[in-house]
Amino acid sequence: MRIAILDDFNHWAKQFAQWDHANSLDFEFFSDHLTDSEALIERLLPFDGIGLMRERTPFPAAIVERLPRLQCLVTTGMANASIDLNACKRQGIVVSGTESPGHATAELAFLLILAQIRRLVPLMTGHLDGQWQTELGQDCRGKTLGIVGLGRLGGQLAVLGHAIGMRVIAWSPNLTPERCLPHKVDWVSKETLFTEADVVSIHMKLSERTRHLIGLEELSSLGPRGYLVNTSRADLVDPAALLEALDRNLIRGCATDVYETEPTPLLDRLVQHPKTLCTPHIGYCTEETFRVFYPQMLEAFLAFQRGQPIRVISP
């Protein structure tokens, strides 16, 4: 059984699982990222299985249906919006996933909050240019943290916000006051969240219902001293509205770990904007997380070969 491991950008996959112990499986690792569909299909035609890292390479029906040998897809995590699960089911392709610790993303979100409020990046770059204490940061203690989406990651961020002395409020389309109680978080309306928060952090899944959930109206309500943090999905925020808000000083700054195109071109307007703090989608990229992802990916391929698929993801 031939298996392609895609988007292994830094050749890390080989370090985190004992691939060579699976003698019956033939693995090939690819460190580049193909965006051309025809080139991708041509590359993958000889393979029976494919290992995917989150949403790096999309697998819509147009690709799935042109890979007649493909029997098994294994993605890191138990949700991958870029896989057409219905198309896989029609083609008889089993899709499996892995567990995901998750807390690494919440930690990064909190780091980005701290960095923005304390003005860490401009102070560091100013220091490198020979300047000393060119800006004053602010305390996080006493500020209001607004969380959009109080699920697993949003809940973990709430704990971190409380630990440093922030007031924490939350909203999402389906969130209720009762679900906020265990987190000691105040439920508010969407309008109130953006009006009262000093910093808003997004922790929502992307769907057609949540696409561009945050637009110019919400960003204007956040105000000229407010910050936005997005470690979830780029399309949760209207990109044109975000750039307009930054250009017009409607918000003080934005920190993002996610982009419309990834890997993101250096000349991307958001990356180059003087009021943004941009990280290269590293929310889940830690040694501890990869020690879960890749061994469980290998485990899933071996289970499929035995005819006993595990952690199967259904449409």
Which residues are annotated as catalytic?
233, 262, 281
**Token digits for 172?**
């999402």
Q: What is the DSSP string of 86-97?
A: HHHHHHT-EEE-
Distance CA 310, CA 299 (A): 8
Q: How far apart are CA 177 and CA 184, in angstroms?
A: 10
For the four alpha carbons of 124, 126, 128 and 130, in that order, the dihedral sign comes to negative
